[in-house]
Structure formats: structure tokens, C-alpha cells
Amino acid sequence: MTEDPRNYALLIEFDGGCFFGYQSQKQSPTVQEEIEKALDILLKKQTRIWGAGRTDTGVHARGMIVNFKTDSPISNLSKFLLGMNALTDRGLAIHEITEVPLNFNSQFSCTAREYEYLLVNARFPRPVWKNRAFWYQHRIDVSRLREELELLKGEHDFRSLAKATSMRNRRTTTRVIYDASLIESEEEPGLLRLRIKANGFLHNMVRILTGTLFEIAIEKRKETNILKILSSKDRTIAGITLPPYGLYFLKAYYDSFPQIDRMYQNRKEFGGVPR
């Protein structure tokens, strides 16, 4: 028995260390493959998903949106959600499901994405942060970090902060940074959260950006600032690419689809995505 096609959005969280990135690839476990495998079983037909971000191997997600369309009936969304979680890897959790308009696409309808990079600035790191945050034992100039993050806001050409080999055939390297901030954790001394919200990101952009800001903040690049590096349009002028395990996809934004905001709000109320 089939029905008219319906469109559903999922709010997911995953441990990047359990997968070889988001996008399906041969002979390696991925987030997309894991979700589609569960959907195929529950819906009894091959089902494709679209994701708000295509994260690399090792990158985590606290609140990514994916969607799928189906003409198979789903009579009880709560039971369906339980079934999804029972069929997926323990490194992946599906927290919310909601029906959305047919014209919604988690990738192409997205108007902004927000990432977070975790730095631990402490003499000795807690084991819990291994493969969860980048550790540095010497002084980080937090005030300088905040100054550089303020400079980032607005529209810039990010060619110098993207993986060089990914620049071929790219129409534009200009992106708009809506917000860039540094949060010092009150519960975890030394834990720094660098958050960047933009209308889009180039390949490895957040990891290169945070690596460059990190080098400025430890005074490895005392004579420059992020605007000078951006204006150079030269990847060799920028800093290191920080490892993927400190990076988290935090949230996807959709101006025309309030159903997605409600999913995030539900997750927040039940102790989920931190804001």
C-alpha cells in the first residue's frame, strides 16, 4: 500500500570517529549509508536522504538535519523514530522526526550553517576530551582570539582558508560570516568553543580558519591578522589545518521552515543541542 509522497526531516547527532564522513562511499561506513540502511528496512524500499552538511571523516555533529521522501505510510512517528535508532550504529542518534513540505530539502533549502571547534588549553588534558577537542598546553591569548573573530564578520573571499585542491572549477569563494564568537566554558576550565555561523563554507574552511586563528593567538603570527591573510588569497600564507576530531556541525538554519526550529527547540528542552 502506498500513499501520496511525503517529506520527513530528521534531527541527528553522530560521533565522527565511528564513520568515514557523511557521504556514502564504497566499503566504508558513513552516516548517509547508516541512515539509508535503516530506512530501507523500515519502509521496505530503497530510500535516499539529503543532508545539511557533508562532513569529513572524524568530524562530529550535534544537530544536523537530513530529509527523505517516501510514499510508504508512516502511521506513528514516535515508533518510527524508535525503530530508526534500534537499527543504526551506536555512534549515531536520531533525536527528532517531523513532516515538512515537499519543497523542503535539507541541503538546498539551508540558509546558514553553524560549526563549533573545541580547543582545550590546559597543562594536562582530561582523557574525556581525547579525539573530542584539540589540546594545547601553553598560553593562548583569548583576548586576541576574540578580536580576530570580530574581524571575520561580514562578507569575505575565503580562498586562502580552503583546501587548495578543492578550488578547481569553483564559481565563487566568497562567503558571509553572520556570527563568530568564543565561549569559555564555566563548567570545564580551559575549554574554548569557537563558533562560526555563515551562509556556506568551503572545503576544510573551518579547520583552516581555526588553525590560523590559533597560530595568531599563540603569537606564532604576531605581525599579521586574519584580514591580511584573507586579502592574500594564498593558502600558503594561512595557518595549519586543525584535526577533524575537534570540529562539530552544530546547527542548520532554514528561514522558511519553522518546523526545523521546533525540532531544535525540542532537543534543547530535553537536554540536547547546547546554545
Rounded average pLDDT over 208-220:
95
Phi-psi region of 169 (alpha: psi -120 to 50; beta: other; left: phi over 0): left
**In terms of domains, do 100 and 138 share one?**
no
14 pLDDT above the threshold of 70: yes
Residue-wise pLDDT for 94-126, tens only, equals 999 999 999 999 999 999 999 999 999 999 888
- Annotated binding-site residue? 117: no
**In terms of domains, do 62 and 84 share one?**
yes
Cα distance between residue 34 and residue 28, in whole Å: 11
More confident residue, 103 or 26: 103
* Cα within 13 Å of Cα(79), Cβ side: 6
Full-model pTM:
0.93
**In terms of domains, do 136 and 208 share one?**
yes
Distances (CA, A) of 216 to 140, 224, 229: 9, 8, 11
Q: What is the predicted pLDDT for the residue at 275?
A: 47
Distances (CA, A) of 206 to 60, 147, 183, 200, 239: 13, 17, 16, 11, 12
Rounded average pLDDT over 147-169:
90
* Cα within 13 Å of Cα(59), Cβ side: 24
More confident residue, 186 or 261: 261
Could you tell me the pLDDT band of residue 268, with boundaries at 50, 70 and 90? confident
Mean pLDDT, the chain, integer: 93
Query: Could you tell me the three cell numbers for 171?
Result: 564559481
Could you tell me the pLDDT band of residue 232, with boundaries at 50, 70 and 90? very high
Rounded average pLDDT over 48-52:
97
**In terms of domains, do 143 and 210 share one?**
yes
Q: Does residue 54 contact residue 19 with C-beta atoms inside 8 Å?
A: no
Virtual torsion, Cα 49, 169, 204, 177, nearest 10 deg: -90
Q: What is the predicted pLDDT for the residue at 223?
A: 78
Q: What is the predicted pLDDT for the residue at 267?
A: 83
Q: Does residue 111 contact residue 156 with C-beta atoms inside 8 Å?
A: no
Domain with residue 217: its CATH number is 3.30.70.660
User: In the 8-state DSSP scheme, what is residue 129?
Assistant: G
**In terms of domains, do 183 and 264 share one?**
no
271 pLDDT above the threshold of 70: no
216 pLDDT above the threshold of 90: yes
Is 56 noted as a catalytic residue in this protein? yes
Catalytic residue (choose from 56, 71, 141, 179) = 56
Could you list the residue range(s) of the whole structural domain that residue 190 is in?
A: 112-249
**In terms of domains, do 15 and 66 share one?**
yes
**In terms of domains, do 117 and 200 share one?**
yes
**Would you say residue 275 lies in a domain?**
no
**Would you say residue 274 lies in a domain?**
no
Total number of domains constituting the chain: 2
